[in-house]
Structure 1
Amino acid sequence: MLGGLGAPARAAGPLNVGVLIPGSKSDKGWMESGYDGMKAAEKNLGTKVAVKFIENVKFGDMEQVLVTLAGKNELVIGIGGQTQASVFKVAPRFPKVKFAIIGGNADPKKPDNVSGYDVRQAEIAFVAGASAAMLSKTGGVSYVGGLEIPAIKNAGIEFGKGAKYINPNIKYFESYTGDFDDVAKAKEATLAAIAQGADIHYHILNLGLRGMEQAAREKGTHIIGSYTDRCGTDPLYVAYSITGVGFQVEYAMEQVAAGTWKPEFKPFGLAMGPKSSDMVICKATPEQKAKIEEIKKDLLSGKIKVLDA
């Protein structure tokens, strides 16, 4: 537990929480995972919280939306590292409001009333790459990212490393669409990888995932999903990396409700347990399960080293 003895007591009444969801809460990805975590925290905390959320917020509008949320809430959560710059601008204007960034990175400019939670996407992407190599029948795997920023780029690098850890000769295709929500570009990138021999695809996309799905369905290939274990819901998906976006939303709300929240940068990842980070092959063989567990253990011990972001 963080904080603890001596934490100031909250005023009576529910904890008012405002949540900024830059994309769609039904994107089968990062945003939906965050929304699911918000709903889970609402259920767990019951009358102790009152939550409002705003979705589909463009980057240029984030600052104003955060100002609106900060004026009415004790805790404001930005779901996604793309909210960090705007949170850093707005937070100093509301020193009594607590802010949490899901997917934030370490930054010495962080205001004193902001916490940043790092999902460690690169770490679990390594395990996803290893899983993709184990699942591939063609000896080719691919990754499509949205914005070509360090966290997304590093996940792509580690996905490729994970695939080569299993099969040094595997063909790996990596591309970026420049937009997490561009369906057409994601489909184009996936089709290009399929044409070169990829049959298992991984992503860090939001609504752009629809394009990857279209390409995979048309060509009979498969996807490793991100963020939440949804095995059995869609045969297109053969595995899922669990990247605890929703878990971190729950964490922020529960910490503030308990009076144990503190402004910090906190890496999550495998070290925080399977709700925080994990890898699931939907119809895994005993050998595949054992290999995943071995890789996770080696990542935690430092025997396998990956990029931090």
Structure 2
Amino acid sequence: MFKKTMALLLTMMLLAGLVAGCGPKAPEQQQPGENNAPAEKPLKIAMVTDVGGVNDRSFNQSAWEGLQRAQKELGVQASYQESKQEADYATNIETLVDAENDLIWGIGFLMGETIKTAAQNYPDQKFAIIDYAYGDETPENVVGVVFKEEEPSYLVGYIAGKMTKTNKVGFIGGMDFPVIHKFHYGYLAGVKAANPNVEVMVQYANSFTDEAKGRSIAEQMYANGADIIFHAAGATGNGMIEVAREKGKYAIGVDKDQNPDAPDNVITSAMKRVDNAIFNVAKDLKDGKYAGGETVVYGLKEGGVDIAPSSSKLVPKEILDEVEALKAKIISGEIKVPATKEEFEAMK
């Protein structure tokens, strides 16, 4: 009896083992591709802000919004390092390289040489920069992104020339270098196209962060008869918008739609879709495309610049209809908007 019982137990144990052997493998025994493939590692994309900071309500904020959109829609892991002064650029880039980001953005013209040096020091690291074109010297691991800022500036200048009641308008530039010249001379050309008799007051603040300086320049221009001022000065221009709100004057914003900052005063904005550029490069990178060694250009034709959608709130429809016609002529090449002093003088 004992032997029969032991035989029965052994038979049952063998059957149990066979059944277990036919069952699913334990997770640690499964091979890749057998329903437990590891999740795709998200792309890490980061940016170094210019000195205006990520909440400048303008240039840097637009860039960060584009990166946040990429995080939401593309699943990238987004981050930034904020620069308080130009000396922070190199340190912030080093921090992002050490963090093993797949792509590092430099936001702004002032970062051009720092990004180029970093690209040479880290040839396997991908970089991109807003507002800087290296031309034939573009490193293979850098994408340059530039905009035709003169085009929306021409359109807002036309609006200013049509809407001024005093025949005096103003322009406040941040720093005196080529990117801001495109805003400056595009605006001048647009004002003069609308009304050759309008006087344009121009002053550079030599800062993108000094709101007090923006206030001071704006107060003087408004006191001298200007009733509309356009700025291309980052956070410095926010001071101008505050003065316009306080004095009941008109202002023109830049980069983002700045009407929410002063809904009764910001009649339009020369929008520069830095957010779209950031998002598009992230999408390309995720799709396995990276335009290293090249410069991407965004104008009206490419949907990279335009006037703000809020313009219809304060700008008469007949003027906006004229602006639409001008836009079509710029896109077709019938109107060539000046981007420099020399081009503006030749146009005159």
TM-score between both structures, scaled by the size of structure 1: 0.90
Please report how far the alpha carbon of residue 12 of structure 1 lies from its aligned counterpart in structure 2 after TM superposition: 4.2
Alpha-carbon separation, structure 2, partners of 1:60 and 1:138 = 43
Please tell me whether residue 189 in structure 1 is matched to residue 217 in structure 2: yes
SS of the residue aligned with 1:223? strand
Please tell me whether residue 282 in structure 1 is matched to residue 312 in structure 2: yes
Please report how far the alpha carbon of residue 215 of structure 1 lies from its aligned counterpart in structure 2 after TM superposition: 2.3
Query: Which residue pairs with 1:89 in the alignment?
Result: 117
Which residue type is aligned with residue 268 of structure 1? Answer: Y
Q: Whose radius of gyration is greater, 1 or 2?
A: 2
Q: Does structure 2 retain, via aligned residues, the 8 Å contact 1:143–1:173?
A: yes
Q: Does structure 2 retain, via aligned residues, the 8 Å contact 1:29–1:205?
A: no
Structure 2 residue corresponding to 1:124, chosen from 152, 157, 162: 152
Q: Does structure 2 retain, via aligned residues, the 8 Å contact 1:133–1:166?
A: yes
Q: Which moved more, 1:168-177 or 1:297-306?
A: 297-306
Please report how far the alpha carbon of residue 136 of structure 1 lies from its aligned counterpart in structure 2 after TM superposition: 1.8
Hey, which bits of structure 1, 4+ residues long, moved more than 6 A?
none
Please report how far the alpha carbon of residue 69 of structure 1 lies from its aligned counterpart in structure 2 after TM superposition: 1.0
Please report how far the alpha carbon of residue 249 of structure 1 lies from its aligned counterpart in structure 2 after TM superposition: 1.0
Alpha-carbon separation, structure 2, partners of 1:231 and 1:211 = 14
Percent identity reads: 28
The root-mean-square deviation of aligned C-alpha atoms, in Å, is 1.8
Alpha-carbon separation, structure 1, partners of 2:136 and 2:196 = 38
Structure 2 residue corresponding to 1:51, chosen from 75, 78, 83: 78
Runs of 5+ consecutive residues of structure 1 not aligned to the other structure = 1-10
* Equivalent residues in 2 for 1:61-210, closer than 5 Å: 61-71=88-98, 72-210=100-238
Alpha-carbon separation, structure 2, partners of 1:299 and 1:260 = 30
Query: Which residue pairs with 2:12 in the alignment?
Result: none
Please report how far the alpha carbon of residue 106 of structure 1 lies from its aligned counterpart in structure 2 after TM superposition: 4.3
Structure 2 residue corresponding to 1:40, chosen from 69, 73, 79: 69
SS of the residue aligned with 1:190? helix
C-alpha change, 1:186 and 1:160, in structure 2 (3 Å) is same
Higher relative contact order (CA 8 A, sep 6+): 1
Please report how far the alpha carbon of residue 78 of structure 1 lies from its aligned counterpart in structure 2 after TM superposition: 1.1
Alpha-carbon separation, structure 1, partners of 2:316 and 2:334 = 24
Alpha-carbon separation, structure 2, partners of 1:202 and 1:98 = 36
C-alpha change, 1:15 and 1:58, in structure 2 (3 Å) is same
Structure 2 residue corresponding to 1:268, chosen from 288, 298, 303: 298
Q: Does structure 2 retain, via aligned residues, the 8 Å contact 1:16–1:74?
A: yes
Q: Does structure 1 retain, via aligned residues, the 8 Å contact 2:169–2:226?
A: yes
Higher helix proportion: 2
Alpha-carbon separation, structure 1, partners of 2:258 and 2:202 = 24
Please report how far the alpha carbon of residue 107 of structure 1 lies from its aligned counterpart in structure 2 after TM superposition: 3.1
Please report how far the alpha carbon of residue 211 of structure 1 lies from its aligned counterpart in structure 2 after TM superposition: 1.7
Please tell me whether residue 294 in structure 1 is matched to residue 325 in structure 2: yes
Query: Which residue pairs with 2:15 in the alignment?
Result: none
Query: How many equivalent pairs are there?
Result: 295
